[in-house]
Amino acid sequence: MGRFDGRVAVITGAARGIGFGTAQRFASEGASVAILDLDEGAAADAAGRVELADGARAVGIGADVSDAASVDAAVDRVVSELGGLHVLVNNAGVTRDNLLFKMTEVDWDLVMGVHLKGAFLMTKAAQKHFTEQRYGKVVCLSSTSALGNRGQANYSAAKMGIQGFVRTLGIELGPFGINVNAVAPGFIATEMTDATAARMKMSVEDFRAGVAERNPVKRIGLPEDIAAAVTFLASDEASYITGQTLYVDGGATLL
């Protein structure tokens, strides 16, 4: 028996990276999963690659989490195609790094729009179902960058904003049987961090090796590390945990 048998989980930005790894983990524990991503083709392709438990299903849905109409249509589709909604993972993300004096308004708005407004719109759409059924789990992706990171004023502000968002919703939604938490990853090997290596004119291998060397547990993180934390917080074992942010970074923020 899986922890998520009979449950439906929607994971945003799940065509690849941490989101895909998380969708796969939910599916391996019995959930049906909806993979939301900007590009419907990429989402459908990813849904086709998820290994499912008996009786579970996966769908890929194209949606822009920063657009209210797109979000509402996507959540309606999840409920009608998979027969309900129990878990929301706000994972979709982008980076537009630059020092403050070079950061454009467009890059500020894009990062705020995807991370913060996206989490707001998705959670608002999901909570209608969660409050009616008196059950729901929301897990948002924050980041160690919330604590401050050179060149990421937009991303850091958004990721710390996520921490305030989950603390507030923990208070508001707790009485309705809804838990809202965040996971704050450190360095995780995905296309997002590969792009950072490229911006720093380093090979992916050298970049990852340097990060691993500086980390207390002497390795980089993998999407599976984050999937384990997200699924724990979305499970009934964590029903007395809400409004919290769990750092999953190999101890990087202890230094």
At its nearest, how many Å lie between ligand NAP and the CB of residue 40? 11
Give 36 or 173: the residue with its C-beta nearer to ligand NAP: 36
For ligand NAP, what does the binding mask look like between residues 30 and 69, x meaning CB under 6 A?
Answer: -------xxx------------------------xxx---
Residue 36 and residue 11 in contact, taking contact as beta carbons nearer than 8 Å: yes
- Assess 92 for contact with ligand NAP (CB under 6 A): yes
Give 18 or 229: the residue with its C-beta nearer to ligand NAP: 18
- Assess 97 for contact with ligand NAP (CB under 6 A): no
- Assess 141 for contact with ligand NAP (CB under 6 A): yes
Give the span between the Cα atoms of 130 and 124, in whole angstroms.
Answer: 10
- Assess 116 for contact with ligand NAP (CB under 6 A): no
Query: Which of 135, 155, 240, 247 is the catalytic position?
Result: 155
Give 30 or 233: the residue with its C-beta nearer to ligand NAP: 233
**Eight-state DSSP code of residue 218:** S
Give the span between the Cα atoms of 217 and 207, in whole angstroms.
Answer: 16
Interface residue with ligand NAP, options 16, 57, 77, 124 (CB under 6 A): 16
Q: Outline where the chain has alpha helix (H).
A: 17-28, 40-49, 68-82, 105-112, 118-133, 153-173, 191-199, 204-214, 223-233
At its nearest, how many Å lie between ligand NAP and the CB of residue 91? 5
155 flagged as catalytic: yes
Residue 8 corresponds to which tokens in the numbers above?
Answer: 């439906």
Residue 213 corresponds to which tokens in the numbers above?
Answer: 């060397």
What is the footprint of ligand NAP within residues 153-192 (CB under 6 A)? Answer: 185, 187-188, 190-192
Phi, psi (deg, nearest 5) at residue 70 = -65, -40
Residue 24 and residue 50 in contact, taking contact as beta carbons nearer than 8 Å: yes
Give 126 or 188: the residue with its C-beta nearer to ligand NAP: 188
Residue 59 half-sphere exposure, CB side, CA atoms within 13 Å? 19
Active site residues: 155
